[in-house]
Structure 1
Amino acid sequence: MTTYKTYLKNKTHTYCKNRRAIANVVTSAIVISAVSILGVAMLGWSNSNLAIQKQEIEEAFSTQINKINEDLIFDNVWFSSTCPGKCVNVTMSNVGTLGLNVTEMKFVDGTSLTDLQIFYFTDGGIVTGGTFSTNATYTWMSGDDIDIFVFTERGNQFTTQVIAP
Protein backbone atom coordinates (compact mmCIF):
# COMPACT_ATOMS: atom_id res chain seq x y z
CA MET A 1 0.00 0.00 0.00
CA THR A 2 1.36 3.29 -0.91
CA THR A 3 1.36 6.02 1.53
CA TYR A 4 0.20 9.48 0.83
CA LYS A 5 3.79 10.77 0.97
CA THR A 6 4.96 8.26 -1.57
CA TYR A 7 2.01 9.11 -3.79
CA LEU A 8 2.82 12.84 -3.65
CA LYS A 9 6.49 12.16 -4.27
CA ASN A 10 5.75 10.06 -7.34
CA LYS A 11 3.13 12.50 -8.57
CA THR A 12 5.49 15.49 -8.14
CA HIS A 13 8.30 13.61 -9.83
CA THR A 14 6.08 12.73 -12.77
CA TYR A 15 4.72 16.26 -12.92
CA CYS A 16 8.21 17.80 -12.91
CA LYS A 17 9.41 15.30 -15.45
CA ASN A 18 6.60 16.21 -17.84
CA ARG A 19 7.07 19.85 -17.06
CA ARG A 20 10.73 19.73 -18.06
CA ALA A 21 9.80 18.34 -21.44
CA ILE A 22 7.37 21.17 -21.99
CA ALA A 23 9.99 23.67 -20.79
CA ASN A 24 12.47 22.38 -23.39
CA VAL A 25 9.90 22.79 -26.15
CA VAL A 26 8.94 26.28 -25.00
CA THR A 27 12.59 27.33 -24.61
CA SER A 28 13.45 25.98 -28.04
CA ALA A 29 10.50 27.83 -29.56
CA ILE A 30 11.58 31.08 -27.88
CA VAL A 31 15.18 30.70 -29.07
CA ILE A 32 14.09 29.87 -32.63
CA SER A 33 11.71 32.86 -32.63
CA ALA A 34 14.42 35.17 -31.30
CA VAL A 35 16.92 33.99 -33.90
CA SER A 36 14.33 34.41 -36.66
CA ILE A 37 13.44 37.93 -35.52
CA LEU A 38 17.12 38.92 -35.29
CA GLY A 39 17.78 37.39 -38.72
CA VAL A 40 14.94 39.36 -40.31
CA ALA A 41 16.08 42.55 -38.56
CA MET A 42 19.69 42.08 -39.75
CA LEU A 43 18.52 41.34 -43.29
CA GLY A 44 16.41 44.51 -43.33
CA TRP A 45 19.26 46.59 -41.91
CA SER A 46 21.79 45.25 -44.42
CA ASN A 47 19.42 45.86 -47.34
CA SER A 48 18.79 49.45 -46.27
CA ASN A 49 22.50 49.99 -45.65
CA LEU A 50 23.34 48.67 -49.13
CA ALA A 51 20.67 50.90 -50.68
CA ILE A 52 22.15 53.96 -48.96
CA GLN A 53 25.67 53.07 -50.11
CA LYS A 54 24.42 52.48 -53.66
CA GLN A 55 22.79 55.93 -53.67
CA GLU A 56 26.01 57.56 -52.41
CA ILE A 57 28.08 55.81 -55.09
CA GLU A 58 25.65 56.88 -57.82
CA GLU A 59 25.76 60.50 -56.63
CA ALA A 60 29.58 60.50 -56.48
CA PHE A 61 29.79 58.99 -59.96
CA SER A 62 27.33 61.52 -61.37
CA THR A 63 29.20 64.41 -59.76
CA GLN A 64 32.54 63.26 -61.15
CA ILE A 65 31.11 62.76 -64.65
CA ASN A 66 29.58 66.24 -64.51
CA LYS A 67 32.95 67.69 -63.45
CA ILE A 68 34.59 66.02 -66.45
CA ASN A 69 32.01 67.55 -68.80
CA GLU A 70 32.68 71.11 -67.58
CA ASP A 71 35.07 73.09 -69.77
CA LEU A 72 35.84 76.79 -69.70
CA ILE A 73 38.18 78.85 -71.89
CA PHE A 74 39.36 82.42 -71.47
CA ASP A 75 38.36 84.41 -74.54
CA ASN A 76 39.84 87.74 -73.61
CA VAL A 77 41.61 89.40 -70.69
CA TRP A 78 42.17 93.10 -71.06
CA PHE A 79 43.45 95.76 -68.70
CA SER A 80 41.74 99.12 -68.49
CA SER A 81 42.57 102.33 -66.71
CA THR A 82 39.27 104.01 -67.69
CA CYS A 83 37.16 102.17 -65.08
CA PRO A 84 36.72 103.92 -61.76
CA GLY A 85 40.35 103.22 -60.96
CA LYS A 86 42.07 100.41 -62.79
CA CYS A 87 40.29 97.16 -63.66
CA VAL A 88 40.73 93.90 -65.49
CA ASN A 89 38.00 92.60 -67.78
CA VAL A 90 37.87 88.81 -68.04
CA THR A 91 35.67 87.13 -70.65
CA MET A 92 35.17 83.34 -70.50
CA SER A 93 33.25 80.90 -72.69
CA ASN A 94 31.67 77.62 -71.69
CA VAL A 95 32.75 75.04 -74.28
CA GLY A 96 31.69 72.02 -72.21
CA THR A 97 28.57 69.91 -72.58
CA LEU A 98 26.99 71.20 -69.34
CA GLY A 99 26.07 74.59 -67.99
CA LEU A 100 28.31 75.81 -65.19
CA ASN A 101 28.42 78.42 -62.46
CA VAL A 102 31.51 80.55 -61.86
CA THR A 103 31.69 81.10 -58.10
CA GLU A 104 35.14 82.59 -57.57
CA MET A 105 37.94 84.30 -59.48
CA LYS A 106 41.33 84.77 -57.90
CA PHE A 107 44.26 86.92 -59.03
CA VAL A 108 47.60 85.46 -57.96
CA ASP A 109 51.05 86.98 -58.33
CA GLY A 110 52.77 84.83 -60.96
CA THR A 111 56.22 85.05 -59.35
CA SER A 112 55.58 84.85 -55.61
CA LEU A 113 52.27 82.91 -55.87
CA THR A 114 50.61 85.14 -53.28
CA ASP A 115 46.92 85.96 -53.57
CA LEU A 116 46.42 89.46 -54.92
CA GLN A 117 42.64 89.69 -54.89
CA ILE A 118 39.64 87.34 -54.73
CA PHE A 119 36.26 87.98 -56.34
CA TYR A 120 33.11 86.01 -55.52
CA PHE A 121 30.14 85.62 -57.86
CA THR A 122 26.54 84.62 -57.25
CA ASP A 123 25.40 85.32 -60.82
CA GLY A 124 28.19 83.56 -62.74
CA GLY A 125 26.04 81.01 -64.57
CA ILE A 126 27.12 80.18 -68.12
CA VAL A 127 24.99 77.99 -70.40
CA THR A 128 26.65 75.65 -72.87
CA GLY A 129 28.14 77.80 -75.63
CA GLY A 130 27.55 80.98 -73.58
CA THR A 131 29.98 83.57 -72.25
CA PHE A 132 30.54 85.36 -68.97
CA SER A 133 32.32 88.70 -68.77
CA THR A 134 33.20 90.63 -65.65
CA ASN A 135 35.11 93.77 -64.75
CA ALA A 136 37.30 93.11 -61.74
CA THR A 137 38.49 96.25 -60.01
CA TYR A 138 42.18 95.70 -59.39
CA THR A 139 45.01 98.24 -59.27
CA TRP A 140 47.47 96.65 -61.65
CA MET A 141 50.95 97.83 -62.51
CA SER A 142 52.53 97.62 -65.95
CA GLY A 143 54.48 94.38 -66.35
CA ASP A 144 52.63 92.55 -63.54
CA ASP A 145 52.59 88.78 -64.08
CA ILE A 146 49.11 87.67 -62.97
CA ASP A 147 47.71 84.15 -62.82
CA ILE A 148 43.92 84.10 -62.99
CA PHE A 149 42.18 81.15 -61.32
CA VAL A 150 38.46 80.61 -61.91
CA PHE A 151 36.53 78.13 -59.75
CA THR A 152 33.16 76.60 -60.59
CA GLU A 153 30.38 75.44 -58.34
CA ARG A 154 31.28 71.78 -58.99
CA GLY A 155 34.84 72.42 -57.79
CA ASN A 156 36.70 72.65 -61.10
CA GLN A 157 39.54 75.11 -61.50
CA PHE A 158 40.56 76.84 -64.72
CA THR A 159 43.71 78.94 -65.07
CA THR A 160 45.27 81.46 -67.40
CA GLN A 161 48.33 83.67 -67.11
CA VAL A 162 48.52 87.28 -68.30
CA ILE A 163 50.99 90.16 -68.14
CA ALA A 164 49.73 93.68 -67.63
CA PRO A 165 50.62 96.09 -70.48
Structure 2
Amino acid sequence: MSKISLRNNNRFHFNSRRALANVVTSAIILSAVSIMGVAMLGWSNSSLTTQKQAMEETFSTQMNKINEDIIFENVWFSTTCPGNCINVTLSNVGTLGLNVTQMTLIDRTTLEELQIFSYADAGIVSSGTFSTNATYSWTSGEDIGIIVFTERGNQFTTQVIAP
Protein backbone atom coordinates (compact mmCIF):
# COMPACT_ATOMS: atom_id res chain seq x y z
CA MET A 1 0.00 0.00 0.00
CA SER A 2 2.81 2.35 0.62
CA LYS A 3 4.14 1.69 -2.87
CA ILE A 4 0.88 2.75 -4.46
CA SER A 5 0.65 5.87 -2.45
CA LEU A 6 4.23 6.68 -3.21
CA ARG A 7 3.52 6.18 -6.88
CA ASN A 8 0.48 8.35 -6.66
CA ASN A 9 2.50 10.98 -4.85
CA ASN A 10 5.15 10.93 -7.60
CA ARG A 11 2.55 11.09 -10.31
CA PHE A 12 0.87 13.93 -8.51
CA HIS A 13 4.21 15.63 -8.10
CA PHE A 14 5.02 15.31 -11.82
CA ASN A 15 1.59 16.61 -12.83
CA SER A 16 2.00 19.67 -10.67
CA ARG A 17 5.35 20.39 -12.32
CA ARG A 18 3.75 20.17 -15.76
CA ALA A 19 1.02 22.55 -14.74
CA LEU A 20 3.60 24.99 -13.43
CA ALA A 21 5.54 24.82 -16.72
CA ASN A 22 2.36 25.51 -18.70
CA VAL A 23 1.57 28.55 -16.55
CA VAL A 24 5.10 29.94 -16.88
CA THR A 25 5.15 29.34 -20.63
CA SER A 26 1.75 30.96 -21.04
CA ALA A 27 2.87 33.95 -18.98
CA ILE A 28 6.00 34.37 -21.10
CA ILE A 29 4.01 34.15 -24.35
CA LEU A 30 1.40 36.65 -23.10
CA SER A 31 4.15 39.03 -21.99
CA ALA A 32 5.89 38.78 -25.36
CA VAL A 33 2.64 39.33 -27.25
CA SER A 34 1.81 42.31 -25.03
CA ILE A 35 5.24 43.88 -25.56
CA MET A 36 5.04 43.38 -29.33
CA GLY A 37 1.51 44.81 -29.35
CA VAL A 38 2.61 47.93 -27.48
CA ALA A 39 5.61 48.33 -29.82
CA MET A 40 3.42 47.97 -32.92
CA LEU A 41 0.88 50.42 -31.55
CA GLY A 42 3.62 52.98 -30.91
CA TRP A 43 5.09 52.47 -34.36
CA SER A 44 1.72 52.80 -36.10
CA ASN A 45 0.87 55.97 -34.14
CA SER A 46 4.18 57.60 -35.08
CA SER A 47 3.75 56.51 -38.70
CA LEU A 48 0.23 57.93 -38.84
CA THR A 49 1.39 61.17 -37.22
CA THR A 50 4.16 61.54 -39.81
CA GLN A 51 1.75 60.89 -42.69
CA LYS A 52 -0.80 63.31 -41.22
CA GLN A 53 1.84 66.05 -40.95
CA ALA A 54 2.98 65.45 -44.54
CA MET A 55 -0.62 65.66 -45.79
CA GLU A 56 -1.22 68.89 -43.86
CA GLU A 57 1.95 70.44 -45.33
CA THR A 58 0.95 69.39 -48.85
CA PHE A 59 -2.55 70.79 -48.39
CA SER A 60 -1.20 74.06 -46.98
CA THR A 61 1.32 74.43 -49.82
CA GLN A 62 -1.30 73.76 -52.48
CA MET A 63 -3.77 76.19 -50.90
CA ASN A 64 -1.06 78.85 -50.75
CA LYS A 65 -0.29 78.27 -54.43
CA ILE A 66 -3.97 78.75 -55.27
CA ASN A 67 -4.07 82.04 -53.35
CA GLU A 68 -1.06 83.45 -55.22
CA ASP A 69 -1.91 85.78 -58.12
CA ILE A 70 0.12 88.28 -60.14
CA ILE A 71 -0.94 90.64 -62.87
CA PHE A 72 1.39 92.46 -65.22
CA GLU A 73 0.69 96.15 -64.58
CA ASN A 74 3.04 97.57 -67.17
CA VAL A 75 5.68 96.34 -69.60
CA TRP A 76 7.60 98.99 -71.44
CA PHE A 77 10.66 99.03 -73.64
CA SER A 78 13.41 101.56 -73.10
CA THR A 79 16.53 102.63 -74.93
CA THR A 80 17.72 104.91 -72.10
CA CYS A 81 19.16 102.10 -69.97
CA PRO A 82 22.74 101.11 -70.64
CA GLY A 83 21.65 99.43 -73.86
CA ASN A 84 18.07 98.36 -74.48
CA CYS A 85 16.01 97.15 -71.54
CA ILE A 86 12.53 96.03 -70.63
CA ASN A 87 10.83 97.39 -67.53
CA VAL A 88 8.26 95.01 -66.01
CA THR A 89 5.92 96.06 -63.21
CA LEU A 90 4.01 93.31 -61.40
CA SER A 91 1.15 93.63 -58.92
CA ASN A 92 0.30 91.01 -56.34
CA VAL A 93 -3.50 90.73 -56.37
CA GLY A 94 -3.55 87.49 -54.37
CA THR A 95 -4.33 87.14 -50.69
CA LEU A 96 -0.76 86.15 -49.72
CA GLY A 97 2.65 87.70 -50.02
CA LEU A 98 4.91 86.04 -52.59
CA ASN A 99 8.47 85.97 -53.82
CA VAL A 100 9.40 86.31 -57.48
CA THR A 101 12.40 84.06 -58.11
CA GLN A 102 12.86 84.21 -61.87
CA MET A 103 11.74 86.01 -65.00
CA THR A 104 12.32 84.41 -68.38
CA LEU A 105 12.02 86.12 -71.75
CA ILE A 106 11.18 83.80 -74.65
CA ASP A 107 10.83 84.29 -78.39
CA ARG A 108 7.14 83.62 -79.06
CA THR A 109 7.86 82.52 -82.64
CA THR A 110 10.54 79.88 -81.95
CA LEU A 111 9.88 79.38 -78.19
CA GLU A 112 13.60 79.85 -77.62
CA GLU A 113 14.70 81.25 -74.25
CA LEU A 114 16.13 84.68 -74.87
CA GLN A 115 17.23 85.66 -71.37
CA ILE A 116 16.75 84.47 -67.78
CA PHE A 117 16.79 86.85 -64.81
CA SER A 118 17.01 85.47 -61.26
CA TYR A 119 15.91 87.36 -58.15
CA ALA A 120 16.76 86.74 -54.50
CA ASP A 121 14.91 89.65 -52.87
CA ALA A 122 11.81 90.18 -55.01
CA GLY A 123 9.12 89.78 -52.38
CA ILE A 124 5.73 91.36 -53.02
CA VAL A 125 3.26 91.84 -50.19
CA SER A 126 -0.43 91.39 -50.88
CA SER A 127 -1.66 94.40 -52.91
CA GLY A 128 1.97 95.44 -53.46
CA THR A 129 4.01 95.91 -56.62
CA PHE A 130 7.44 94.95 -57.90
CA SER A 131 9.22 96.68 -60.76
CA THR A 132 12.43 95.59 -62.46
CA ASN A 133 14.58 96.70 -65.38
CA ALA A 134 15.76 93.71 -67.37
CA THR A 135 18.63 94.48 -69.71
CA TYR A 136 17.87 92.81 -73.03
CA SER A 137 18.77 93.87 -76.57
CA TRP A 138 15.31 93.78 -78.10
CA THR A 139 14.56 94.61 -81.70
CA SER A 140 11.53 96.45 -83.00
CA GLY A 141 8.55 94.20 -83.78
CA GLU A 142 9.93 91.28 -81.78
CA ASP A 143 7.22 89.08 -80.19
CA ILE A 144 8.40 88.39 -76.62
CA GLY A 145 6.84 86.17 -74.00
CA ILE A 146 7.50 86.94 -70.34
CA ILE A 147 7.21 84.16 -67.76
CA VAL A 148 7.47 85.01 -64.07
CA PHE A 149 8.12 82.20 -61.56
CA THR A 150 7.35 82.40 -57.84
CA GLU A 151 8.98 80.65 -54.94
CA ARG A 152 5.98 78.35 -54.51
CA GLY A 153 6.34 77.13 -58.11
CA ASN A 154 3.61 79.15 -59.81
CA GLN A 155 4.26 80.75 -63.18
CA PHE A 156 2.52 83.71 -64.73
CA THR A 157 2.86 84.68 -68.38
CA THR A 158 2.19 87.55 -70.71
CA GLN A 159 3.30 88.46 -74.20
CA VAL A 160 4.36 91.78 -75.66
CA ILE A 161 5.60 93.10 -78.98
CA ALA A 162 8.57 95.45 -78.96
CA PRO A 163 7.82 98.88 -80.48
Mapping of residues 6-155 of structure 1, within 5 Å: 15-155=13-153
Distance 2:102 2:11 in 1: 88
What one-letter code is carried by the residue in structure 2 that aligns with 1:89? N
Report Cα offsets for 1:71-105 as digits up to 9, x if no partner. 10001111111111111110000011111100000
User: What TM-score, normalized to structure 2?
Assistant: 0.91
Q: Displacement, 1:62?
A: 0.9
Distance 1:116 1:151 in 2: 16
For the residue of structure 2 that corresponds to 1:124, the secondary structure is: strand
Distance 1:46 1:111 in 2: 56
**Which blocks of at least 5 consecutive residues in structure 1 are unaligned?**
none
**Which blocks of at least 5 consecutive residues in structure 2 are unaligned?**
none
For the residue of structure 2 that corresponds to 1:142, the secondary structure is: coil
Candidates 145, 154, 159, aligned match of 2:157: 159
User: What TM-score, normalized to structure 1?
Assistant: 0.90
Q: Displacement, 1:19?
A: 2.1
- Cα RMSD (Å) of the superposition? 1.8
Q: Displacement, 1:18?
A: 2.7
For the residue of structure 2 that corresponds to 1:23, the secondary structure is: helix
What one-letter code is carried by the residue in structure 2 that aligns with 1:23? A
Q: Displacement, 1:2?
A: 7.5
Identity of aligned residues (%): 70
Residues 12 and 111 of structure 1: CA distance in aligned 2, closer, same or farther (over 3 Å): farther
For the residue of structure 2 that corresponds to 1:96, the secondary structure is: coil
> How many residue pairs align between the two structures?
161
Report Cα offsets for 1:40-96 as digits up to 9, x if no partner. 111111111111111111111111111111110001111111111111110000011
Q: Displacement, 1:14?
A: 5.2
Distance 1:46 1:37 in 2: 14
